[in-house]
C-alpha cells in the first residue's frame, strides 16, 4: 500500500489509533474474501479499493478540494447525490460498519443505541476515518430517532445540514420532500459556490441513473442459477459504490456485469447449481460489516439479493430524465426518493411487498431478516414481514445482531439450522 501517513496527518487524524485499525482490516478481508474460490476477475478493482481504502479515494477527494470542489459526507440514501454532483461536489457515504469505532461512539452516545450510529460518531470523534476528516460538511436526515439526535452532537463539532425526511407517503409528503430538496440545493450552491442549473442537474441525473443501471445489471445476473457471483462480492461492490466516483462506479459495475453475463451464458457459477439461495433484508451493512454474508456462505448457501440500502434500495427506481426545468427535476427527484421503503415510514407496506417480490424474482429458498441491535424500526417490521412470507410459503429467519464478533458462533448455529431445513 502507498504511504498515506502525511495525508492522514494533514487531515488531523489520530495516527496511532488509526494504525491499529489498518492492522486488522487486511486480515479480516483476507479471511473473508480472499479465501473464496472462482471469483469474477473484475473483483480485482474492488479488492484494490479495499487494500487502499483509507488512501486512494480520500487522496482523490483532497485533489478535488484543491481544485475548489467540496466533499459532502452522508449517512442515508435519501440525500440526493444528483444535487451535489450537479454543483461539482462529491458525495461520500459515512455510515460506520466496524466494531472498532463503537467504544469511541459510546463516549458521546448512550450504549443502547444502534451500532451504525455509534460507529459513525466514533469514527468522527476518534479521528480514525479519513472520509469523515476530509468531508467539508455532513448531511444528515430525520429518519430514525437515534440518527436525528446524533446529528446534533456531530453538528456541534462540524458543519452538519439536516434534511427533514417525511414519515408518511401522502401527496403532501412528496411535496414536502420536493421543498426539502430545493432547500438543500440552496445549501449546496452556497457551499460549493456553483449555481445549480437545469443543464447541470439534468446531466447529474443521467450520471446517477447510469450508476443505478450498472449496479442493477449485477443484481440481475444474480437471478441466474448457478449464480455467477457470491453475495459477499456483490455486497462489496455495493459498499464501495457509496464512496466511489459515480462515473467510475458505473464503469466498473458494468465491466463486472459483462463478465457475469458471460458466465451465465457458459452456465458457469460461483457455486454449483441448486445451492440454497438466500435473500437478506433489513438494516444496511456498512463496510466492513460482512459478518452475516460470511456465515451464510460458509454454511452451504449463497446470498443472491439484499433488500436493504446497501442493496436494492440504493439503485431501484430511476429519476425521470424527461423534465426540462429545475422545478420539474426537483419533483422527479422527490418522487424517486420517496419510493424508498425504509422502515422509518408509517405505514410501510411497500417493503413487505418488495421482499416478497424479490424472493420470487431471485428464486430464493429462504429469507434472513436481520436488523442491527436497538433499531426499533426494522425490529417492529419483523412480524408483518414474517407473516407475509409465511403466506407465500417462503421460510424466514429473523435475527438481531451488532458489529461485535461474540455472537458469531450462535448466529452460525441458527443460520446453519435454517439452511439445513430449507
Residue 280 interacts with ligand BJ8 (CB under 6 A)? no
At residue 280, the 3 state secondary structure works out as strand
> DSSP string spanning 354-394?
HHHHHHHHTT-SEEEEEEETT-HHHHHTHHHHHHHHHHTT-
Q: Is residue 79 part of the contact set for ligand BJ8 (CB under 6 A)?
A: no
Q: For residues 342 and 419, which CB has a smaller minimum distance to ligand BJ8 in the complex?
A: 342
Residues facing 367 on adjacent strands: 279, 396
Of 196 and 367, the one with the shorter C-beta distance to ligand BJ8 is 367
Which CB atom, from 165 or from 256, has the smaller least distance to ligand BJ8?
Answer: 165
How many other CB atoms are found less than 10 A from the CB of residue 417? 11
The span of 64-72, 76-84, 100-108, 185-193 binding ligand BJ8 (CB under 6 A) equals 76-84
Using CB under 6 A as the binding rule, whether residue 58 contacts ligand BJ8 is answered as no
Tell me if 288 sits within 8 A of 313, measured CB to CB. no
**Does 243 contact ligand BJ8 by CB under 6 A?**
no
Footprint on residues 322-341 left by ligand BJ8 (CB under 6 A): 340
Asked whether the beta carbons of 223 and 362 are under 8 A apart, the reply is yes
Residue range at the interface with ligand BJ8 (CB under 6 A); choices 114-122, 166-174, 255-263, 318-326: 114-122
Instruction: Tell me the C-alpha distance between 218 and 225, whole Å.
Output: 14
Considering only residues 144, 253, 295, 389, which one is a binding residue for ligand BJ8 as defined by CB under 6 A? 144
Where in 284-303 is the site for ligand BJ8 (CB under 6 A)?
284
CB of residue 75 vs ligand BJ8: minimum separation in angstroms?
7
**Is residue 147 part of the contact set for ligand BJ8 (CB under 6 A)?**
yes
- Please, which residue, 77 or 188, has the CB nearer to ligand BJ8? 77
Give the one residue of 377, 385, 389, 399 binding ligand BJ8; rule: CB under 6 A: 377
Alpha carbon of 123 to those of 21, 119, 141, 160, 344: distances in Å?
11, 6, 18, 15, 24
Helix (H), strand (E) at residue 186: helix 171-192
Instruction: Provide the pairing of β-strand 160-163 with 276-282.
Output: unpaired
Query: Closest CB to ligand BJ8 among 111 and 413?
Result: 111
Nearest one of 411, 291, 416, 311 to 31, comparing CA atoms: 291
Q: For residue 179, what is its C-alpha cell?
A: 421543498
Residue 385 binding ligand BJ8, by CB under 6 A: no
Q: Could you tell me the smallest distance in angstroms from the CB atom of residue 115 to ligand BJ8?
A: 8
Residue 241 sits in the site that holds ligand BJ8 (CB under 6 A): no
Which helix (H) or strand (E) element contains residue 99?
Answer: none
Tell me: does residue 366 bind ligand BJ8 (CB under 6 A): no
Which residues have CB under 8 Å from 402's CB, separation 6+? 99, 102, 115, 372, 373
Burial bucket for residue 17 (CB in 10 Å: 0-12, 13-18, 19+): middle
| 98 touches ligand BJ8 (CB under 6 A) | no
Total number of residues binding ligand BJ8 (CB under 6 A)? 20
411 binds ligand BJ8 (CB under 6 A): no
Q: Which stretch binds ligand BJ8 (CB under 6 A): 111-119, 321-329, 359-367, 386-394?
A: 111-119
CB 92 within 8 A of CB 159: no
CA atoms within 13 A on the CB side of 18: 25
Q: Which is nearer to ligand BJ8, 121 or 329 (CB)?
A: 121
Task: Give the relative orientation of helices 198-221 and 231-241 as an angle to the nearest 10 degrees.
Answer: 170
Residues contributing to the site for ligand BJ8 (CB under 6 A): 76-78, 114, 116-117, 143-144, 146-147, 283-284, 309, 340, 342, 344, 372, 375, 377-378
Amino acid at each position: 500500500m502507498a504511504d498515506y501517513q502525511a495525508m492522514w496527518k494533514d487531515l488531523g487524524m489520530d495516527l496511532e489509533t488509526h494504525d491499529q485499525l489498518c492492522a486488522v482490516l487486511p486480515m479480516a478481508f483476507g479471511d473473508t474474501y480472499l479465501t473464496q474460490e472462482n471469483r469474477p476477475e473484475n473483483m480485482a478493482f474492488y479488492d484494490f479499493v479495499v487494500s487502499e481504502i483509507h488512501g486512494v479515494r480520500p487522496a482523490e477527494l483532497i485533489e478535488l478540494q484543491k481544485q475548489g470542489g467540496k466533499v459532502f459526507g452522508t449517512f442515508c440514501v435519501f440525500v440526493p447525490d444528483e444535487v451535489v454532483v450537479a454543483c461539482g461536489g462529491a458525495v461520500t457515504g459515512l455510515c460506520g460498519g466496524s466494531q472498532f469505532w463503537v467504544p469511541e461512539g459510546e463516549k458521546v452516545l448512550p450504549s443502547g443505541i444502534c451500532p451504525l450510529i455509534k460507529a459513525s460518531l466514533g469514527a468522527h470523534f476518534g479521528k480514525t476515518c479519513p472520509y469523515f476528516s476530509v468531508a467539508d460538511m455532513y448531511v444528515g436526515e430525520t429518519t430514525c430517532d437515534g440518527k436525528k439526535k446524533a446529528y446534533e452532537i456531530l453538528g456541534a463539532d462540524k458543519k452538519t445540514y439536516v434534511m427533514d425526511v417525511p414519515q408518511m407517503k401522502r401527496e403532501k409528503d412528496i411535496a414536502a420532500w420536493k421543498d426539502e430538496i430545493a432547500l438543500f440545493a440552496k445549501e449546496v450552491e452556497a457551499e460549493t459556490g456553483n449555481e445549480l442549473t437545469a443543464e447541470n442537474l439534468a446531466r447529474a441525473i443521467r450520471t446517477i441513473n447510469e450508476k443505478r443501471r450498472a449496479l442493477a445489471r449485477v443484481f440481475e445476473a444474480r437471478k441466474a442459477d448457478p449464480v455467477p457471483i457470491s453475495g459477499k462480492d456483490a455486497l462489496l461492490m455495493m459498499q464501495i459504490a457509496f464512496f466511489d466516483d459515480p462515473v467510475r462506479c458505473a464503469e466498473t459495475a458494468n465491466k463486472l456485469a459483462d463478465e457475469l453475463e458471460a458466465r451465465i451464458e457458459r452456465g458457469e457459477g460461483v457455486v454449483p447449481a441448486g445451492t440454497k439461495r438466500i435473500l437478506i433484508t433489513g438494516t444496511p451493512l456498512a463496510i466492513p460489516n460482512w459478518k452475516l454474508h460470511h456465515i451464510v456462505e460458509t454454511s452451504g448457501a449463497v446470498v443472491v439479493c439484499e433488500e436493504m440500502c446497501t442493496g436494492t434500495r440504493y439503485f431501484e427506481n430511476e429519476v425521470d430524465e424527461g423534465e426540462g426545468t429545475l422545478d420539474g427535476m426537483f419533483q422527479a427527484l422527490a418522487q424517486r426518493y420517496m419510493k424508498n421503503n425504509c422502515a422509518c415510514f408509517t405505514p410501510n407496506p411497500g417493503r413487505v411487498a418488495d421482499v416478497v417480490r424479490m424472493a420470487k424474482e431471485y428464486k430464493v429458498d429462504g429469507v434472513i431478516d436481520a436488523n442491527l441491535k436497538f433499531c426499533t424500526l426494522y425490529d417492529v417490521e419483523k412480524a408483518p414481514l414474517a407473516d407475509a412470507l409465511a403466506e407465500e410459503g417462503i421460510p424466514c429467519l429473523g435475527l438481531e445482531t451488532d458489529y461485535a464478533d461474540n455472537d458469531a458462533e450462535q448466529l452460525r448455529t441458527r443460520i446453519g439450522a435454517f439452511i439445513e431445513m430449507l
